[in-house]
Amino acid sequence: MVPSRHINMKRFVGIFAVFALIGFAGCRDFSVNQDGENSNERSPRKFTVSGDGPFEMSQGDVIHVEGTNLTMEFRFVLSDSRCPTNVLCIHPGDAEILLDISSSDNRLLQIQAHIPGLVPTPYETNNIIQFEGYRFQLLRLSPYPVDGTEQPKESDYVALINISSVF
């Protein structure tokens, strides 16, 4: 015969496990779109931009430069060590993204575009990358780090990029 104290302990553990599972199941915060998929994740976009002026793109986005055979993909953020707002830093830090620029003749240029911290944006004096008769320039990377907040997810980053014709 099993002592009643042992049975009560098993019952307590079982009830505790059920409530723990219910509690943990309710902790995940996500929304579901009409197709029943998780809609917190942004899907990469493919779109066309003019070859003259700034535009925004997020990680995974692919743009086509209108009237050309050029495409560019924002691959990912390589690093973000920019000095957060409301913090006194010895060095302003730097953010770096990886971009793939390609032409229809299978020429590919992989560039690491940088932007320093603590600069006004759009940062129009930033380095210019030239490829196939066009200039590419990273003007801003958002969000800017804020003291006391979590590092943004890579899918949160948005780059403001300027394209201009060399000719």
Each residue's pLDDT tens digit, 90-143: 999 999 999 999 988 888 889 999 999 999 999 999 999 998 889 999 999 999
- Peptide bond connecting 143 to the previous residue in cis, omega within 30 degrees of 0: yes
* Whether residue 76 is found in the same domain as residue 137: yes
Q: Is the same domain home to 33 and 51?
A: no
**Do 51 and 86 belong together in one domain?**
yes
Buried b (16+ CB within 10 A) or exposed e, 115-153: bebeeeebbeebeebebeebebbbbbbeebbeeeeeebe
Number of structural domains found in the chain: 2
pLDDT in tens, 87-101: 999 999 999 999 999
Q: Do 32 and 87 fall into the same domain?
A: no
DSSP state letters, 18-68 = HHHHHHHHTT----B-TTSSB-SSPPP-EEEE-SSEEEEEETT-EEEETTS
